[in-house]
Amino acid sequence: MEKTLVILKPCTIQRGLVGEILNRFDRKGLRLAGMKMIQLTDALLSEHYAHLSEKPFFQRVKDSMMAAPVVVCCYEGVDAVEAVRALAGPTNGRKAAPGTIRGDYSMSFQENIVHASDSPEAAEVELARFFKPEEIFEYRQATFDYLYANDEY
């Protein structure tokens, strides 16, 4: 089944929204396979946000991601990458629809609550960047049979 990376950004930690945001993923039915609090570094972020390296706001985004610790999570589910991106909403919180995480909690392009992997290929690379293999747990979700029809996975 597909796994994806979610990062609760420093703005989320500082605004006391960790529980509320984790609740969004819980109630959707995603399986929490890994979670920890870490302090990001400039080197790690230069890798993670390499696609933004030519942008004028590159350093500002990295500084924002280092302003406080973050919570990194690995969620699993059928089509988890797409489902989590849909829950997160588009990058700019001001434009994100109400009901999405960014639409409900963010007024900013940058301070937009969560990072979520944008493809299954990116998710694999990003999970390997932030988690050791032993930090990802393979247990059976107790609610599994009530989350999916048996031909959906």
Q: Catalytic positions, please?
A: 115
Side chain identity, residue 57: F
Told to check if 104 binds ligand ADP by CB under 6 A, we report no
Residue closest to 117 by CA, chosen among 129, 132, 99: 129
Q: What's the min distance (Å) between Cβ of 52 and ligand ADP?
A: 6
In the complex, minimum distance from the CB of residue 37 to ligand ADP, in angstroms, rounded to a whole number? 19
Q: Tell me the helix, strand and coil percentages in the chain, rounded to 5.
A: 45, 20, 40
99 within 8 A of 87, measured Cβ to Cβ: no
CB nearer to ligand ADP: pick between 34 and 117: 117
Residues 63-92 touching ligand ADP, rule: CB under 6 A, are 91
Is 57 one of the binding residues for ligand ADP (CB under 6 A)?
yes
152/46 Cα distance (integer angstroms) = 37
Q: Which of 129, 97, 89, 79 is nearest to 113 (CA)?
A: 89
> Do 56 and 15 meet the contact criterion of CB atoms below 8 Å apart?
no
**Of the candidate residues 46, 59, 110, 141, the single one contacting ligand ADP (CB under 6 A):** 110
Of the two residues 33 and 96, which places its CB atom closer to ligand ADP in the complex? 96
59 lies in the binding site for ligand ADP (CB under 6 A): no
- Answer yes or no whether residue 109 interacts with ligand ADP by CB under 6 A: yes
User: Which spans of this chain sit near ligand ADP (rule: CB under 6 A)?
Assistant: 49, 52, 57, 61, 91, 109-110, 112, 115, 118
